[in-house]
Amino acid sequence: MSRIDIAYGAEHRIKQACQTVYKHFLAGRHVLVYCTDPKRLEAFNKMLWSVEATAFVPHPYLGEGGDMARVHLCHELSAQSLIQWGDGQKPWLLNLDIHCPPFFEQFDRVLEIISTHSEDRRLARERVAVYKQGAHQIVYHDLSAKN
């Protein structure tokens, strides 16, 4: 069973995702960022380079080298996607897709960022319903107070 962390109330989903990944990167955690939409994943890719003025967060696409990087991007998940980096840590999965990722149950932790935009909230409710059907542990984080 996975723990699903739902962070809701973000003003900007991609910007909040970059800040979240940066925080986990600094904490030494491994994060796999998933999205089937190439434009959204590329927007995340570009924004992560500027998350902090002096930050450097290596984040190659999964399977394109950078095996020691703690952050990877991917547009496709398979049963083999749950890789363990050099230190044996399992990565956390950050979902930027509009649907639940395939094989998300392989991950101990799944992160969802939900913006205040109505369409994003509607799609998120559908994903949360899937997580609830699987009896996963769901933990909610209200970001609206931080904005």
Residues contacting 126, CB < 8 A, separation 6+: 99
pTM of the model: 0.92
DSSP state of 101: P
Q: Which residue has the higher pLDDT, 77 or 98?
A: 98
| Rg (the chain; Cα; Å) | 14
Residue 106 has pLDDT above 80, yes or no: yes
Amino acid 79: pLDDT: 67
Q: Under CATH, what is the fold of the domain 3-146?
A: Rossmann fold (3.40.50)
CB 142, CB 34: distance < 8 Å: no
Amino acid 89: pLDDT: 77
The structure tokens listed for 69 are 């990087």
CB 56, CB 48: distance < 8 Å: no
Confidence of residue 81 (pLDDT cuts 50, 70, 90): low
pLDDT single digits (tens) 124-147: 999 999 999 999 999 999 999 765
Confidence of residue 83 (pLDDT cuts 50, 70, 90): low
Residue 90 has pLDDT above 70, yes or no: yes
Residue 31 has pLDDT above 70, yes or no: yes
Handedness of CA 116, 117, 118, 122 (dihedral sign): negative
